[in-house]
């Protein structure tokens, strides 16, 4: 059985971590497969949004500790996550994906799994979801973007408290902190995530992707530079067929039909 399931629901690509017997802990093959699937979805003109979730009762329990504990010769035979170039690791690839990515948090997201969830643009949580930054409890640190992302999401002080203590956050605590945008009944999670993905996909895809790029760029740019950067992104949108369709649909009081051109 594939460790990563890739499905399509119209313009939505659904990527499911599929190692439920290991709580979707990240193996070498899964790490590589997820990176490739994210790149493929980002390049596919028929995909406008991506949903990332897990099979079974967990989203992702982090890197597969049992795999890392094996003798190096055995790890090399099956592919070790620790031996892969971090530039090609999912959190780094995820940061550079232009299309919106929604994490459907179906259960626990621990360590690397939490970093992976935080790297998505939106998080919708099941009532059973948890975020567990257990790095310091294991003698390591967030190696896949958490130290960069979390302070930007919730501020330095709260991020420091969470990271230094390694406390587990339940769904309500995550919602109160703004780490997830919704908490829904477990049975409705995927439907809710795909519904939001389809709502986003109904908008002009080039405009959505440009907006995402500029939001990410704004984290590191001074205001004047950012405004100029946004203007350069706006010029090709003015020349697009989707811009003309958006204006025409507004004047005709109808829903627009965007083509991504």
Distances (CA, A) of 192 to 106, 115, 216: 12, 22, 25
Residue 109 shares a structural domain with residue 230? no
Contact 48, 54 (CB under 8 A): no
Domain match, 82 and 211 both: no
Whether 128 is in a domain gets the answer yes
In a domain, 16, yes or no: yes
C-alpha distances in angstroms, 167 versus 57, 106, 260? 20, 19, 43
Residue 257 lies in a domain: no
pLDDT score, position 28: 86
Is 189 in the same domain as 65?
Answer: yes
Name every residue whose Cβ is closer than 8 Å to that of residue 232 and which is 6 or more positions away in sequence: none
Q: Which domain holds residue 13?
A: 4-201
Please report how the helices 241-251 and 205-218 are oriented relative to each other, as an axis angle in degrees rounded to 10.
110
User: pLDDT 10s digit of each residue in the chain, 261 long?
Assistant: 699 999 999 999 999 999 999 999 988 889 889 999 999 999 999 999 999 999 999 999 988 765 555 555 544 544 444 454 566 778 889 999 999 999 999 999 998 999 999 999 999 999 999 999 888 787 778 777 888 999 999 999 999 999 999 999 999 999 999 999 999 999 999 999 999 999 999 999 999 999 999 999 999 899 999 999 999 999 999 999 999 999 999 999 999 999 999
Are residues 119 and 213 located together in one domain of the fold? Answer: no
DSSP state of 19: -
Same domain, 115 and 211: no
pTM of the model: 0.88
DSSP string, 76-87: HHH--GGGS-GG
Distance CA(221)–CA(97), nearest Å, equals 19
């Amino acid at each position: 059985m594939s460790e990563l399931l890739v499905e399509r629901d119209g313009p939505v690509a659904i990527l499911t971590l599929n190692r439920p017997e290991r709580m979707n802990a990240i193996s070498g093959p899964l790490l590589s497969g997820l990176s490739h699937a994210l790149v493929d979805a980002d390049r596919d003109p028929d995909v406008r949004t991506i949903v990332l979730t897990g099979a079974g009762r967990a989203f992702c329990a982090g890197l597969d500790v049992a795999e890392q504990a094996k003798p190096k010769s055995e790890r090399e035979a099956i592919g070790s996550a620790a031996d892969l170039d971090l530039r090609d690791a999912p959190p780094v690839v995820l940061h550079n994906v232009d299309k919106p990515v929604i994490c459907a948090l179906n259960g626990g997201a621990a360590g690397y799994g939490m970093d992976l969830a935080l790297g998505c643009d939106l998080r919708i949580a099941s009532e059973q979801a948890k975020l567990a930054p257990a790095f310091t409890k294991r003698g390591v640190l967030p190696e896949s973007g958490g130290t960069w992302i979390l302070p930007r999401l919730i501020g330095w002080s709260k991020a420091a408290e969470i990271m230094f203590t390694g406390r587990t956050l339940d769904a309500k605590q995550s919602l109160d902190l703004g780490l997830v945008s919704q908490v829904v009944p477990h049975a409705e999670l995927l439907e809710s995530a795909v519904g939001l993905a389809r709502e986003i996909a109904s908008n002009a895809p080039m405009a959505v992707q440009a907006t995402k790029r500029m939001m990410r760029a704004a984290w590191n740019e001074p205001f004047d530079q950012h405004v100029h950067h946004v203007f350069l992104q706006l010029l090709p949108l003015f020349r697009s067929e989707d811009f003309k369709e958006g204006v025409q649909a507004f004047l005709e009081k109808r829903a627009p039909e965007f083509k991504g051109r």
